[in-house]
Structure 1
């Protein structure tokens, strides 16, 4: 069994279900939710989160955090990280890296440092870990500079994590179509 698996795909491609399937037989999985918490007033988002929660085995623990480095470095059972895309979004939020001036002044350095830390922790982890990430570079070219910045960064994160991963899976239309 591979120690690290990265499950990639577009929106609604089946990547989360595939990640969950890979760890379904494990007893002590920690599901690491990197998304924005529910209760934000966005009913559609809250419904997405509820559907994800309802699909998970009841015995899995859920942890809502962005501190992936600490989890990857800690001993313990398998981790399912869903997802690196929302992790990067929230890291960019934390450093106001959507703003061009902030990006140039400090955001780029801060975000890239966090990406470096994540990749290093992914490389050295001894835990079984499955991470989900969106492939955002195959769609429409974003209209804004910040959107293109995010698309490019996400591609770099996926490439760097994949380079340290024994098992990379590509999902489309609800199926794994490439390993």
Structure 2
């Protein structure tokens, strides 16, 4: 199937999620995979989530998880994964990387597992991810590690994708 695996990159609030939703709009059933987790009483985060929910068709399912490999390995409707950036931060949290930055190899193993599942998935899948590496070099080691791992994650998934798109200011361009 051509363009079975699509990665949509861009900066914050660039229109990535809307572009992903549009790519799957004609599908009768989609599983929206939210990687953001609990809002923990954060009103601004809850508002963002509500806007995403309001845009999605009522026929779309929802999975709130960072366990992407089992979803990618299973048969089923198309997946919209929003987003890999939150997947990375929550994976780093789950592995307690912030307290021992030297354990970053554990995250790299998870990235490799994700890329393998992405490559073999039987499903139509669109994932959204932030490109955060074009700015200044972060001042602290933890943020530098996150930026570097984000770059590795995006590169790894990009190279395993059939199509990669760049979204900026609401415009989506193919990367070839």
TM-score of the superposition, structure 2-length normalised?
A: 0.95
- Matching of residue 77 in structure 1 with residue 73 in structure 2: no
Structure 1 residue aligned with 2:22: 21
Structure 2 SS opposite 1:57 = coil
Query: What is the CA deviation profile of residues 62-118 of structure 1, one whole-angstrom value per residue up to 9, with x for unaligned ones?
Result: 11011100000001110000000000000000111123xx222xx223211111110
Structure 2 residue aligned with 1:67: 67
Structure 1 unpaired stretches of 5+? none
Q: In the aligned structure 2, how far is the partner of 1:30 from the partner of 1:123?
A: 18
- Matching of residue 103 in structure 1 with residue 104 in structure 2: no
Alignment match of 1:139 (pick from 135, 140, 159): 135
TM-score of the superposition, structure 1-length normalised?
A: 0.94
- Matching of residue 150 in structure 1 with residue 146 in structure 2: yes
Q: In the aligned structure 1, how far is the partner of 2:174 from the partner of 2:119?
A: 22
Q: In the aligned structure 1, how far is the partner of 2:74 from the partner of 2:164?
A: 23
Query: What is the CA deviation profile of residues 136-162 of structure 1, one whole-angstrom value per residue up to 9, with x for unaligned ones?
Result: 001232121100100010000000100
Structure 1 residue aligned with 2:126: 130
Structure 2 SS opposite 1:132 = strand
Contact 2:30 2:79 in 1 (8 A): yes
Alignment match of 2:109 (pick from 110, 113, 118): 113
- Matching of residue 33 in structure 1 with residue 29 in structure 2: no
Structure 1 residue aligned with 2:158: 162
Q: In the aligned structure 2, how far is the partner of 1:156 from the partner of 1:95?
A: 18
Contact 2:32 2:80 in 1 (8 A): yes
Structure 2 unpaired stretches of 5+? none
Give the number of aligned pairs: 174
